[in-house]
A and B are shown apart, each in its own frame.
Chain A
């Protein structure tokens, strides 16, 4: 079912957490709300799920505005960041909980719960209490619990942040598989651009309670709308030119002989070997970054070279080298 947000706003006293956002998530899409902590993404998710009252604006799920409807009436289900499994119930009863609340008989709800646990490959651990399950296993149970009532929209609040990196990648694949299999609309809150890129059909980059850009991942990466998006998504150099700001992908930077006309002289300040590529940090006069960008990387510019190209022309910190970029690679930013 498609989800639409119209002028959705959340105020806490004088502070505005979500500032009148508009968004359309098509039915069956995997949508990631991406942004730094405090950007309002979780609050947005909680308003969609009916766990937070909107101060203004509307959430429309499918054909109707949901207003103050309870989560069950909305047809949404939420997967909580800490999983929020009931500690006194075993995996099967956790999954069957919402069926029990609906007054469905014991045999039927147990059968359904077992089917769901099998879907997330947890059938063999149905009798375990949450405390006896690992983080990844708890997560699967939480997913089964969210899916058991057949929701139309699944809301996931940083579902992968508590897992170790290896498990995170595996669960990511799993989430995408289940979403495709069931054809549900997923709305997934994350602060990891990697996660958002890997999973979503629609990336919504949020900052300070507003949407900076909502587009498919490729568009967001190829044509970031704002300097914030370009910086947050990573892999871009945001460069202030006399006639405005541009973003140039770090792997499209040209060093040395290839720099072309109009190249700037830059000083190498860092060299990081990454296996298939080498990240070269550069400082150039006249390209000082605005202070808010400096927190993310110490160098003003980053150039990503393939390992072969770097091996052909090795660089060391302290070297000075001309730096430029293809005019076609420069993408003009709104702000």
Chain B
């Protein structure tokens, strides 16, 4: 009946930092971090630098020449100063629309599922089982998961057929597949779990006595959710949002397949340029995309102090 007060992780972490590391221990720590740092260096930093360098090169139909030109960047923003929206801005707006729609659905959905897992499931075994259930979509590849929507949503797919045989509709509903709807559906299907996990992690760390304390202070269920649970889930929400934003911003497969290759996306532009071997143009687009995503992440991290929470 007496809950033993668990040592607060923050305090213990602060304590271990406070004890000044001796030189030997510090070098050992660097050694331990070295393999991951090396992997990051070789597979992230170097490719990024190369992309950055190539984005300043010149290219024509048959050759790519090292140079230092801003031509690729001016091409990206070609015509953007005129009254009409240029291709790049329109593409970004289209992609941002998917980001917004996907966030608007995965956030409440992910929060609700995480809340259910964290607060309503009492047994750890059941919780584990349900978590595994959430990961089932990841047992097959991305592409197969998307293709599997086609027999369901297609013009003569399961949904249209069923509705027709029930006599509810006469002509098949267009736009179930190869539409914005299909793209958002696929994004939600693919990305909700990236929202669930970090939010669950935040919720699981909320001391249950805080909920009781809120009730004791006269808060209704909704007031507790809004004033206690949600503020404490903010780090999880921010991390989940970062996952979703990055995944959707950089995507070209989902938009291509579910949009029937008819919908523009930033990732798709880069992929097409790569296919035509216009590497410098693709590199410039990639740098612009990277900058855009980083700006969005910066905005999200403004919401919370991530370093404090991790």
Residues of A within 8 A of B (CB): 17, 37-38, 40-43, 49, 51, 70-72, 76-78, 80-82, 84-88, 97-98, 100-102, 131, 145-146, 149, 158, 161-162, 191
What chain B residues lie within 8 Å of A78 (beta carbons)? 212-213, 216
- Contact check, A84 vs B207: say whether CB atoms are below 8 A apart: yes
Partner of B216, one of A43, A71, A82: A71
CB distance from B214 to the nearest CB of A (A): 7
Instruction: Report yes or no: B207 in contact with A82, Cβ–Cβ below 8 A.
Output: yes
Identity of the chain A residue whose Cβ is nearest the Cβ of B218 in the assembled complex: A72
Residue of chain A at shortest CB distance from B2: A37
Which residue of B is nearest A96, CB measured? B217
| Shortest Cβ gap from B86 to chain A (Å) | 43
* Cα(A38)–Cα(B218), bound, Å: 28
Asked if B231 is at the interface of the complex by the 8 Å CB criterion, the answer is: yes
State A162–B7 Cα separation when bound (angstroms): 12
In the assembled complex, B1 has its CB within 8 A of some CB on chain A: yes
Q: Which residues on the B side are within 8 Å of A85 (C-beta)?
A: 213
Asked whether A97 and B214 contact (CB < 8 A) given A37-B2, A131-B10, the answer is yes
Q: Report A-chain residues with C-beta under 8 Å of the C-beta of B220.
A: 101
Interface mask (B1-41 → A, CB under 8 Å = 1, otherwise 0): 11101000010000000000000000000000000000000
> A84-B207, A86-B228, A88-B232 in contact; A158/B2 too (CB < 8 A)?
yes
In the docked arrangement, what's the CA distance between A71 and B218, Å? 7
**Cβ-closest 6 pairs across A and B:** A72-B218, A98-B217, A84-B213, A84-B209, A71-B216, A101-B219
| B-chain residues with CB within 8 Å of residue A131 when the two chains form the complex | 10
**Contacts of B215-231 to chain A: CB distance below 8 A:** 215-220, 223, 227-228, 231
Complex Cα gap A40–B5 (Å): 19
Which residues of chain A come closer than 8 Å to B42, judged between CB atoms?
none
Given A158-B2, A162-B5, are A84 and B212 also a contact pair (CB < 8 Å)? yes
Query: In whole angstroms, what is the CA distance A97 to B232 when docked?
Result: 15
Report whether B3 and A101 are in contact in the complex, using a CB–CB cutoff of 8 Å: no
In the assembled complex, the Cα of A40 lies from the Cα of B220 at a distance in Å of 28
Find B213's partner among A80, A100, A191 (CB 8 Å cutoff): A80
Which single residue of chain A is at the shortest CB-CB distance from B224?
A101
Is residue B294 within 8 Å, beta carbon to beta carbon, of the partner chain? no
Residue contact B2 to A42, C-beta cutoff 8 Å: yes
Q: Are the C-beta atoms of A86 and B215 separated by less than 8 Å? A: no
Closest chain B residue to A97, Cβ basis = B217
Return B236 CB to nearest CB of chain A, in Å. 13
Check A82/B3 contact, CB under 8 A, given A49-B216, A88-B232, A97-B217: yes
- Asked if B1 contacts A70 (CB within 8 A), the reply is no
Residue B104, interface by CB 8 Å: no
Residue B210 CB within 8 A of the other chain: yes
Closest B residue to A43 using CB positions: B1
Q: Select B212's contact among A17, A42, A80, A102, beta carbons within 8 Å.
A: A80
Q: Which chain B residues border A70 with CB–CB below 8 Å?
A: 215, 218
Q: Are A145 and B217 in contact (CB under 8 A)?
A: yes
In the complex, what distance in Å separates the CA atom of A17 from the CA atom of B214? Answer: 25
30 A-B residue pairs with CB within 8 Å? A37-B1, A40-B1, A41-B1, A42-B1, A42-B2, A49-B216, A51-B212, A51-B216, A70-B218, A72-B217, A72-B218, A78-B216, A80-B209, A80-B212, A81-B3, A81-B209, A82-B5, A84-B209, A84-B212, A86-B213, A88-B231, A97-B217, A97-B227, A98-B216, A98-B218, A101-B217, A101-B220, A102-B218, A158-B2, A162-B5
Residues of B with C-beta under 8 A to A37 = 1-2
A87 touches B232 (CB 8 A): yes
Kindly list 18 other residue pairs between chains A and B, CB separation below 8 angstroms, not including A71-B218, A81-B5, A100-B227. A38-B1, A40-B1, A51-B215, A70-B215, A72-B218, A80-B212, A84-B207, A84-B210, A84-B212, A84-B213, A86-B210, A87-B210, A97-B217, A97-B219, A101-B220, A101-B227, A149-B217, A191-B2
- Nearest A residue to B208, CB-CB: A84
B228 partner residues in chain A, CB cutoff 8 A: 86
Given the interface contacts A82-B209, A86-B228, does A101 sit within 8 Å of B218 by beta carbon? yes
Chain A residues, Cβ within 8 Å of B5: 81-82, 162
A149 to B220, CA, bound (A): 16
User: Which B47-105 residues have a C-beta within 8 angstroms of A?
Assistant: none
Q: In the bound complex, do residue A77 and residue B2 qualify as a contact, i.e. CB atoms below 8 Å apart?
A: no
